[in-house]
Amino acid sequence: MRLAAPEQMRELDRKATEEHGIPSIDLMEQAAAGVCRETLALLPERPGKCRAAVFCGAGNNGGDGIAAARMLHLSGVKARVFLAGQYERLTPDALEETRRLSECGVELEPFDPEDKGQRAWVRKCHVIIDALFGVGLTREIAPDSLFAAAIEWINQSPGKVIAADIASGIDAGTGERKGCAVRADVTVTFTLPKIGLAVGDGALYSGRVVVEDIGIPAGLTRELSCAFQTVGEDLARAALPARKPDGHKGDFGRVLVIGGSAGYTGAPFLTASAAVRSGCGLVYLGVPNTVWPVLAVKCASAMPFPLPDQDGGLKLEAVPEILRRMESCDVLAIGPGLGRNPETLEAVREVLRETEKPVVLDADGINALEGHIDILDSRRDRVTILTPHEGEMARICQNVRQEDRLGWVNNFAREHPCIAVLKGHRTITAVNTGSAVNTLVNTTGNSGLAKGGSGDVLTGLIASLLAQGASPVMAAAGGVWMHGYAGDLAAADLTPWHMTPEDVINRFPEVFAALQ
């Protein structure tokens, strides 16, 4: 699903009104009707027995809320409308909606945090509508402001909360929480979902997202170029490699995994296991000689081999053997459990310089780029997929602003020729196409994946899909979706507390069956 930036939505509204002659008040009425429908659906009993409170700002988002209050009133719901902004700053459309509300016998009330009657009403409401801010909020909400008090009341109310367009306090362009924010049960967003609904705090505060058509011509939305989208089942299905009925193991890709060090044998094992279980024909696993006996016993399907080491970590002299092995392989996955021995990190850098093959770089493979980002830039015409968590990303980035994960990974992909997969809640895949950066936000996964080893599984899965013929973008973004969905299946059976990375791998058959 495409995700729109706030400025794009403002331009759509402008074109609809100025170029297509659609009155802006009509768009507001349509938006309010969508909010009203979802609100009525949440009522626990007949409308005539229910109460609603609507919190409004002075902008057009407030106008949406005022119009929705009128519609609820006409449906039989007892509604009161509280204005947290200044009356004299109401937009023309919001002022017109205020007039229409008054004609129905309901008045717009100034919000007063000290008014015990207002507080008592809100506490007895079945539903609360948040229409304080729209998609234009970029400033911090002052903690001593009327808006902060209104947000506190909304969040403390026992009723269901419906946000109009986006939960107030969330930056629609980044998902960042601007001081405080409404926690919505449902967000009714208009025309297209906004970027901030899918990432950061916005993904946590939005609840269930419903997209309402408010009458903007379909041609305008179709021609809108969106650099952001969510990853869903359809994209993951497109990433699933075909299987030749008469194929042999050489037809389904060859992956070389390089990883492991003394005390870290689990990481490369999980990477290799994930590659095997996701359909790769041949998986080779190169590990330091010290830990090779352990992996030789553990691996039944992947093929481990020893590499020169010292003190449990790879030596630089392992590079020629790695490059020799890569000649017959399709993809290199390097980094899981390698350790941060200086000589090991230099070995990683040398491999990156020399190999022309696609590389999936994870964990200590990414750490090897700290202070050596020029090596990544030298791979401009080669495929490189990075799968960092935030700590690894911070080591190789400058000017980091972790509150804006989306901007962070986008800027990195814009500056460097790679596909960057920033792991975490709503994993973000940023793709440098050469002329632009396209960004894909994942929608699967849960906190049960926040365990050591989960990232190693993802590395093996992406490398496997790539080796089997998926495009780099599809392998990365589709692999993230599959990995998260496998995690969701594991959590459903075992709970997020008890699931393990091995349980995620064991759910791959269900994921692939669902996608077929």
List 422's β-bridge partners, or say none: 428
Quote the DSSP letter at residue 16: I
Token pair of 85, please? Answer: 């902004």
Q: What is the mean pLDDT of residues 271-295?
A: 97
Residue 45: predicted pLDDT: 87
CA distance 364 to 350: 14
- 401 confidence band (pLDDT: 50, 70, 90): low
Distance CA 108, CA 112 (A): 12
CA distance 293 to 279: 25
Reported as half-sphere exposure (CB side, CA atoms, 13 A), residue 219 has a value of 4
Condensed to tens digits (0 to 9), the pLDDT of residues 231-278 reads: 999 999 999 988 999 999 999 999 999 999 999 999 999 999 999 999
Residue 400 DSSP code: -
User: Tens digits of per-residue pLDDT, 7-35?
Assistant: 999 999 999 999 999 999 999 999 999 99
Pairing, β 208-212 against β 228-231: unpaired
If one counts every other C-beta atom within 10 angstroms of the C-beta of residue 293, the result is 13
Q: Helix or strand or coil: residue 387?
A: coil
The answer to whether residue 402 scores a pLDDT higher than 70 is: no
H or E element in which residue 460 lies: helix 454-467
Q: Which residues pair with 164 in a beta bridge?
A: 188
Mean residue pLDDT of the chain comes to 96
**How many Cβ atoms from other residues are within 10 Å of residue 333's Cβ?**
35
User: What's residue 433's pLDDT?
Assistant: 84
Mean pLDDT calculated for residue range 344-367: 97
Share of residues in the chain with pLDDT > 90 (%): 92
pLDDT for the residue 226: 87
Opening angle at CA 119, ends 115 and 121, nearest 5: 120
**pLDDT tens digits, 135-184:** 989 899 999 999 999 999 999 999 999 999 999 999 999 999 999 999 99
What is the amino acid identity at position 297?
V
- For the chain, percent helix, then strand, then coil, each to nearest 5? 45, 20, 35
Q: Give the closest residue to 455 by CA, choosing from 422, 477, 432.
A: 422
Q: What is the rounded average pLDDT of the residues 398-411?
A: 79
288 phi and psi angles, rounded to 5 deg:
-55, 145
Phi and psi at residue 314, in whole multiples of 5°? Answer: -60, 145
Please give the average per-residue pLDDT across 70-82, as a whole number: 98
Q: Kindly report the number of other CB atoms within 10 A of residue 242's CB atom.
A: 8
Whether the CB-CB separation of 120 and 113 falls below 8 Å is answered with: no
Q: pLDDT tens digit string along 326-354? A: 999 999 999 999 999 999 999 999 999 99
| pLDDT of res. 221 | 93
What's residue 127's pLDDT? 98
Q: 400 falls in which pLDDT band (50, 70, 90)?
A: low
Asked if residue 407 has pLDDT above 90, the reply is no
Burial class (CB in 10 A: 0-12, 13-18, 19+), 375: middle
- Mean pLDDT across 436-461: 96
